Amino acid sequence: ERDLIRTLAVSHGGFWLVGVAGIGLIGRRTARRLVEKARAEEENRLAAHVFRNALEATLITDSSGCILRINPTFTELTGFTEAEVIGGNPRILRSNHHDADFYREMWQTIVTQGRWQGEIWNRRKNGQVFVAWESIVAVHDEVGAIRYYIGSFSDITEQVEAQRHILRLAHYDVLTDLPNRVLFRDRLERAVVHAQRHGRQVALLFLDLDGFKKVNDTMGHRAGDDLLKEVAARLRTCVRMTDTIARLGGDEFTVILEEVSAANDAAMVADKILMALRDPVTIEG
């Protein structure tokens, strides 16, 4: 009886210990799953919060390019609402500023490298074109197949225009909008190299305005500026689109005539300029 009692106690005790261990193991696994689930839910909430409040316009498409989601900044920047773009294609933003080769190279980079980043011209719902700095990332699944594309962009039109303005100030005369001395030298060097390479000639005319100082002294610098603007306008009518008129400073101008056949061609343009400047210039009456 004692052996039987001992056997029963050991067996029941073993079952009890196994049960307790099983309950503890299941409890730990359940607790771990709950923690992981809570962490995943928190990450999803954080990702959704970041997506909604991102300062860049963001859209998500499937592997075929069908738009699945957009954030509020996308609507704010482009004017398109969710109802207008969900299920559609990002081509609604295309401005036709880029050719087919541009988009072909862009998608080739995305497929081969998994991402693309660069400057692109997009179009808003109202038809206004803007310059965007855009990033496109391909998201792959467990087997390496592309599942989503995530695109994000911001409007950099003001920065681009500011850069162009600075570049123009560096190469163009503010008063007459003609190339300045820096751009004149660059154009002249290129014209000479082109003429030498193709066995042709290039001519350079230099001119200044007689009596310009008298205008400034008697009528003021404002009248002198108006006179320079009028001279620049008349010079433009005397040359071809391929030629270059530059203002070196003060009342000094130059004209680069490309692809001339003989010196007589330059003389003809010079006579044309003199004829254009013979007509009176009316300033302040």
- In terms of pTM, does the model score above 0.75? no
Looking at residue 47, its pLDDT comes to 64
Residue 110 tokens, joined: 């995305």
User: From the CB of residue 147, how many other CB atoms can be counted at a distance below 10 Å?
Assistant: 13
Looking at residue 42, its pLDDT comes to 66
Looking at residue 157, its pLDDT comes to 92
For β-strands 244-249 and 129-140, DSSP reports them as unpaired
202 three-state secondary structure: strand
| Largest separation between any pair of C-alpha atoms in the chain | 139
Low-confidence ranges of the chain (pLDDT < 50): none
Looking at residue 50, its pLDDT comes to 65
Looking at residue 227, its pLDDT comes to 93
Looking at residue 254, its pLDDT comes to 95
- Please report where in the chains the tokens 């603007």 appear, as a residue: 229
Report the alpha-carbon distance of residue 80 to residue 72 in Å, rounded: 10
Any idea what the Cα angle at residue 103 is, between residues 99 and 107, rounded to 5°? 165
User: From the CB of residue 139, how many other CB atoms can be counted at a distance below 10 Å?
Assistant: 12
- Please report where in the chains the tokens 């962490």 appear, as a residue: 39
